[in-house]
Amino acid sequence: MARTVLDRSDVVHALAGVFRKRGFEGGSLSVIQQETGVGRGSLYHFFPRGKTDMAAAVLEQVSEWFEERIFTPLRTANDAAEAIEAMSQEVAEYFTSRNRVCLFAAMTLGEEQDTFADAVRTYFTDWVDALAGVLRTGGLPPQEAADRALDAVAAIQGGLILARAYGDDVTFLGIVARTEQHLLGATR
């Protein structure tokens, strides 16, 4: 039975869970309806172009969260160590509470990867650039800051894959903690 939906953001939140669990390819319209409890009419009301609109809305919501909680604090930080510690904590909490899945990385798989390529590129570029900026604030030369930021984001993303493969949060949390220490060591 379809549930009553208060607004579009409720639907987007429910859709994120489906895409985390099944990916874009595995989230057929019937699966989406069943797992969200949202009827076909409501889905098409909010997302006239179907599943691609749904996924784009989910990525937009995730992007807004990262902008508010990760990117802006890194960009505006005066204390590099404090910003790195805050980023690490936020990232650890975010991904462990969301089944160790990065929806942007998940959208790079399958036939629809070109559809979301710009959004995915922007997400990762914003993260690397914001982190590199705070590392420069912490005293690193520009190229070293850029390299360390890229390595850190790659380590976190790789940690998500390993944690899912191992089926535990401990792996991911350990990688985030070691990445944080590596970054902090460079700024001291």
- Using one digit for the tens of pLDDT, what is the confidence trace for 34-43? 999 998 888 9
With cut-offs at 50, 70 and 90, classify the pLDDT of residue 154: very high
pLDDT at 6 (0 to 100):
61
CB distance 11 to 5 below 8 Å:
yes
Q: Residue 155: how many CA atoms within 13 Å on its side-chain side? A: 20
Cβ atoms < 10 Å from Cβ of 124: 18
CA distance 142 to 100: 31
Residue 101 pLDDT greater than 90, yes or no: no
Q: What pLDDT digit, counting tens, does each position of 134-152 carry? A: 999 999 999 999 999 999 9
Average pLDDT over residues 25-52: 89
With cut-offs at 50, 70 and 90, classify the pLDDT of residue 80: very high
Q: What pLDDT digit, counting tens, does each position of 111-133 carry? A: 777 888 899 999 999 999 999 99
CA distance 88 to 70: 9
CATH class held by domain 59-185? mainly alpha
